[in-house]
Chain A
């Protein structure tokens, strides 16, 4: 399967600041990556689909100006949470589809906004 890394693993920031989360595919060229958010004891919610070299596709209810996604290469997608608020505190996970349509997830980033 594919190996996916995320950085940072956890971040604490002040309200109003921006935070960038990186998602890297270490052994697979991914034209498409996915960003999820998971609140405690809740399901994984797909936020957006990140497409290499083009604009991301956002799910309904996800603000694209707040959650900026850049997929500049086949191995890197970034999610920037702009003007973070405490309610943005969550577990953010990226994933990509492997060759057999199985999703491989990154280890996740725990964001805490104070």
Chain B
């Protein structure tokens, strides 16, 4: 099975930088996804990491360390609209190609 752990809630200030961590334990690894989900809406894709290192996409970056079973999502220049839940999802190898989702981290950005 898979075990995915991320903080339940985080708060940050508009304009700041925030890092949301995700640790996972899985039998085999075939990619890690980050999704953003606003309340009452479906998740939207943010990033995909399958190799170690940092993937940068605008204000959002995602990092992966496969040996440590660890990823983080970095959000820069925070805006109020970034207040949302951020879901870490891990896909195991050799089986279902569907990732398993963590519980999500609720990020609250305040002025």
A interface list, Cβ under 8 A from B: 1, 34, 41-46, 49, 91, 93, 95, 97, 101-108, 110
Contacts and interface: CB of A to CB of B under 8 A. Distances in A.
B66 interface: no
Most buried by A among B33, B42, B99, B100: B42
Interface of B: 31, 33, 40-45, 48, 87, 97-104, 106
B103 A104 contact: no
A105 B97 contact: no
A103 B101 CA distance: 12
Nearest to A6: B42
Given A41-B103, A104-B45, 8 more contacts: A34-B98, A43-B87, A43-B101, A43-B104, A46-B98, A97-B97, A103-B33, A105-B42
Contact of A107 (B42, B48, B97): B42
B98 A93 contact: no
B42 A93 contact: yes
Given A43-B104, A49-B98, A97-B97, A102 B40 contact: no
Given A43-B103, A44-B87, A101 B97 contact: yes
Contacts of B99: 103
B101 A110 contact: no
B73 to A, nearest CB: 16
A94 to B, nearest CB: 9
